[in-house]
Structure 1
Amino acid sequence: MPPVQRDDPYGAYNFLVQVTGVAPNGQDVQASFTEVSGLTVDIQPIEYRAGSARENHVTKQVGLAKMSNIVLKRGITGHVEFWQWVKRAMNGEAATLRATGSIALLDENRHEVMRWKFDRGWPVKYTGPSLGAAKNEIAMETLELCVEALEIDV
């Protein structure tokens, strides 16, 4: 789906996270996260200078693209599909870990306007909530995914 263009920028508060390959039955898992970060692609330049070059400086060429880890944060609701995925990673079940997924940006009417798709992702870090008897906040958990590909669905 191509991004929907308009004059005013979209709010960062309406989005949907969907991951395929997490649930044991193969179904998509959709979750209500409060924050998504790490939608980053970093293309490293390669500096090169030939020994016979007359110029006294390096040239730069396009190097490898590196995707940042995607960090997902949400309030704990008792749904454990993602935790089961983390457990499989801890047990070394590499064959069942790789997942595809997407983060869809929604407009004010909850219609999709843009989608970031990732591929071959798997959990590399889980952080449980910080608990305290005097706190007045939601119990949050964080899931960090490493991904091999990230693209905007255009």
Structure 2
Amino acid sequence: MPAPDPFHAGVVRAFWFDVALYRSAADGPGGTADRLCDGAFQECSGLELAAEIKEYAEGGRNDGVVQRVGRVKLQPIVFKRGMFTRNGDGQVRSELWDWLQGMVAGVRPVPRYNGRIEVRAGYGRPVQAVWTFERGLPLKVLGPALHARTGEIAIEEMHIAHEGLRLVTR
């Protein structure tokens, strides 16, 4: 009997991450025409929310404290070993780097981009989950160590700070 397909068995062992960046609605129309770039990466981290919990000692209650929810901390999203292209055509274009260089050059206001991260069980497979983030700003970009033998030009790491994270369900 053949081993069950992990995709259909509900166990996904390998992922493919498709990423798209769109102009934030607060900075302009925010439609697909305002798409900055698409990308694919081997790793994606920072999809986390951490709530601050504040403790209040309640008078007369000696067996515990009241727990209250405070602010939620958002972690930067980190993409590793991949590349952004324009409109999924596979050609590396300058739009992402223009966004970064504009920020370095002092162009204000800095455009913000919303992002969509589609998690697939492999290349060409259906979408398993979709994460979105809002009003992203580039925080850090680490280019590749250029090596003439391999010809790699992928972005080693890109960190994006953001103002909101959602897991989109169907």
TM-score normalised over the length of structure 1: 0.77
Post-superposition shift, 1:119? 0.3
| Correspondence for 2:17 among 6, 12, 15 | 15
- What residue identity is the alignment partner of 1:65? V
> Could you list the runs of 5+ residues in structure 1 that have no partner in the other structure?
none
Please say which of residues 72-81 and 93-102 is displaced more in the overlay.
72-81
Aligned mates of 1:12, 1:65 — CA distance in 2: 30
Post-superposition shift, 1:8? 2.0
Post-superposition shift, 1:46? 1.1
Post-superposition shift, 1:7? 4.1
> Could you list the runs of 5+ residues in structure 2 that have no partner in the other structure?
1-6, 25-32, 84-90
CA contact 2:44–2:77 (8 Å) conserved in 1: yes
Deviations 1:75-131 (A, max 9, x none): 467433222111122233353421111100123442222100100111011112224
Q: Among all aligned residue pairs of Structure 1 and Structure 2, give the percentage whose two residues are the same amino acid.
A: 27
- What residue identity is the alignment partner of 2:10? D
Q: 1:58 to 1:91 in 2, by over 3 A?
A: farther
What's 1:151 paired with?
A: 166
What's 2:43 paired with?
A: 35
> Does 1 or 2 have the higher relative contact order (CA < 8 Å, sep 6+)?
1
- What residue identity is the alignment partner of 1:59? V
Post-superposition shift, 1:153? 0.7
Q: 1:9 to 1:93 in 2, by over 3 A?
A: farther
- What residue identity is the alignment partner of 1:149? G
Deviations 1:29-55 (A, max 9, x none): 1112222111111112112224x3442
1:110 aligns with 2:117: no
CA RMSD of aligned residues (A): 2.8
1:66 aligns with 2:68: no
Q: What is the aligned length?
A: 146
Aligned mates of 2:18, 2:11 — CA distance in 1: 18
| Residue aligned with 2:102, SS | helix
| Residue aligned with 1:129, SS | coil
